[in-house]
Structure 1
């Protein structure tokens, strides 16, 4: 769900249901890496509620597009971490397997 002025699409607040600090902090990090982002932050309205509000203010581009791009960047980072980890596990198993022979 998105709240914000229709005239100024460079500032919006996005509410993400069923999420917590794990995604919100990672997304905030990715957003802050984007030079189009002037300010961003997140809040959790109540600890017992699985809801995160992410506020994005850009230098002029639509906040919705910048958020979408940051989500894609975050997915790429996660894929890189996963492939690096999987490769390290495979290398470890290969080394260990060759030692036992």
Structure 2
């Protein structure tokens, strides 16, 4: 990926629905990020729909759709990414702790 190329962009066509219904294109990602992020975001109360697709197996990108009651979709996406980051950090901390415990025995 080029240095100035954005990893996240927004698909056009959602202008009539305000900021609560958006589809984002996330480059160089697939099912691993898409499914984990979808599972986290779908738990938020304000979210009506959250899902993703891989438009074509030969393309390294996902289309990530968020529909909410009132909260802007971009806010929900940022919150979801931050929550997923915290889950991953917690998982790594637990893993490293257990490995250290195992190696002591």
TM-score by length of 2: 0.86
Instruction: Say if 1:34 and 1:70, in contact at 8 Å, map to a contact too.
Output: no
**Alignment length (residue pairs):** 95
2:41 corresponds to 1:9: no
Higher Cα Rg, which structure: 1
Q: Please give the alpha-carbon distance, in whole angstroms, between the structure 1 residues aligned to 2:17 and 2:80.
A: 23
Higher normalized helix content (fraction of residues): 1
> 1:93: which partner in 2?
103
* Partner Cα distance (1:62, 1:6) in 2: 14
User: What stretches of structure 1 of length at least 5 have no aligned partner?
Assistant: 96-101
SS in structure 2 opposite 1:33?
A: coil
The aligned counterpart of 2:92 is: 82
Contact 1:11 1:63 in 2 (8 A): yes
Extract unaligned runs of 5+ from structure 2.
1-8
C-alpha displacement of 1:7: 5.6
Q: 1:7 to 1:59 in 2, by over 3 A?
A: closer
Taking structure 1 as the reference length, the TM-score comes to 0.89
